[in-house]
Amino acid sequence: MIKNFIGKLIDKATGSGSSNGRKRFGKRAEIGPDGHGINPALVDERAANVVRTLKEAGYEAYIVGGAVRDLLLGLKPKDFDVATNATPEQVKGLFRRAFIIGRRFRIVHVVYGRGREHEVIEVSTFRAYMDNAAAEAVFGNERTAKGQLAGMKHAVDASGRVLRDNVWGSQEEDAARRDFSVNAMYYDPETRVVVDYHHGLQDAQKKLLRMIGDPATRYREDPVRIIRAVRFGAKLAGLGFRLEPKTARPLVEAKALLADIPQSRLFDEMIKLLQTGHAVASVEQLRALGLARGIYPLLDLVVERADQPFVKAALLDTDRRVGEGKPVAPSFLLASVLWQDVREGWNARLARGEHPFPALQDAIDEVFDARVGDVSGRGKLGADMREIWMMQPRFEKRSGNTPFSLAEQPRFRAGFDFLRLRADVGEIGEELADWWQAFSQADEGERESLVRELRAEQQRARKQQPRVHRVPKGSQDASKSIAETPESTATGNEFDAESPAPAKKRRRRRRKPSGGGGAPSAPAPGGDA
């Protein structure tokens, strides 16, 4: 007993996970179909084809990670990853459309199909277990230490964060390098065997999210695991999963490590957090774990505004679309979160008398500089957000050719969905959104009819408005004097329909002077006085 206790202390201090003959990497367990109950029909055929191709070439290959976890839970995975002992170059050589990506963590993307229907199977090589104390030390991060990192396979910075991880090893080593036990299982779709080293199947049955190894150390190795813990916790909360207390405890303290992570990587992780179909649950997880602030500025803003009607509606709509298998774009969700800032800046400029469209453009530029910066505001995502916002005042004009040209815009659907959301929360009238919905679903003839009907309706409305007689500015005093005369009516309106019209005054004709000219003749010289 004392030996076991001392062994545990040594394991905790060294992070080795082994003592007294125990295997550092856990004990390999092979579970057959009767033990795991995975439905083969849920396995993606293209992922199975990647595994089969690698095995036929003489390599080991398994479906791995979150896909195995979801299969065990009876869910159809959205993405499939494959792990193999083949190197990235060897994998690439076996497939017609395969691309090696990444520097920190080199993997291969095997691509099937084209356009929107394409699918990517991510293939990674088994990673070796490496003691960070033996790794090459680098000062700085990925951006500041590119020169030092060139040619390195395993490197860490001063905090212990892994900057390079491209040393190949065995499957048992690879399993020890993964984060959560439920994500460290391997499935062979041909033999239908699950390989488990860290009691992942038991944790899945217990609905427990447990970090492999010492959680604090694992967060230092890769601080992005903090966000992954939130994401998995949110994704699986609906199934009754919970974070192991030991796994959750270091999260708040480890949050400071995210300051050294490149902003682009944090942005990508934020998008994953909000667009996996569990955005609302992710916000709840962040608040519950004490991570509502300090991960990433834009994410902080999402959490801050998540209870506002417009932002909450956007989060719920994103979750709904993901659940229905419909595509979602980060531009729409971020445009919804930042709309408050854009609208406030726009209204302030309109109050100063600026023209609506330039005022809106300036407000958008201000928001990008203040909230988005250089991470994604200069690329396609930023362009899509701008287009969604700039469409909103154009929806107000429904005459002439404007509706037809607006409906042909590439981002019309996103712009209309944004308009619809504004109507749903009462920011604009339902009538406007209903008209555009009918217009978007109509054919060419029906669209022309909708425009004609709207024009006729607007004309009838103008005719029903009371006519206002404007008095010329120069005759205001004269009108006032007339109204004040005794002859005026009791109402002061001399044009009252029930009052008799005043009699016309007869103008007296002036007699012309004698003589042929227009001027009077002078007296003749010498004439009588």
**Residues facing residue 137 across a β-bridge:** 156
Catalytic residue among 11, 44, 81, 203: 81
Task: Answer yes or no: are the C-beta atoms of 451 and 403 closer than 8 Å.
Answer: yes
Q: What is the C-alpha separation between 26 and 459, in angstroms, rounded?
A: 80
Dihedral angle sign, alpha carbons of residues 261, 262, 263, 269: negative
Q: Is 43 in contact with 178 (CB distance < 8 Å)? A: no
The string of DSSP codes covering 420-440 is: HHHHHTTSS-HHHHHHHHHHH
Cβ-contact 398, 454 below 8 angstroms: yes
Mode of pairing for the β-strands spanning 242-243 and 208-209? parallel
- Catalytic-residue membership of 362: no
H-helix segments, 136-177:
146-149, 171-177
Beta bridge partners of 63: 82, 187
Residues 215, 216, 217, 223: is their CA dihedral positive or negative?
positive
Catalytic residue at 79? yes
Beta strand spans in 104-244 (E) = 107-112, 119-125, 136-137, 154-156, 162-165, 185-188, 193-196, 208-209, 242-243
SS3 410: coil
Sorted by sequence, the CB contacts under 8 Å of residue 522 that are 6+ apart come out as: none
CA end-to-end span of the chain, whole Å? Answer: 159
341 tagged catalytic: no
User: Is the Cα dihedral 35, 39, 40, 45 positive or negative?
Assistant: negative
Q: Which of 79, 188, 214, 424 is catalytic?
A: 79
Catalytic option among 11, 157, 174, 179 = 179
Give the chain's largest Cα–Cα span. Answer: 161
Q: What is the DSSP string of 334-353?
A: HHHHHHHHHHHHHHHHHHTT
How far is the C-alpha of 443 from the C-alpha of 453, rounded, in Å?
15
DSSP single-letter state for residue 180: B
In order, the DSSP letters of 81-122 are EEEESS-HHHHHTT-SSEEEE-SSS-EEEEEES-GGG-EEEE
Q: Which residues are catalytic?
A: 79, 81, 179
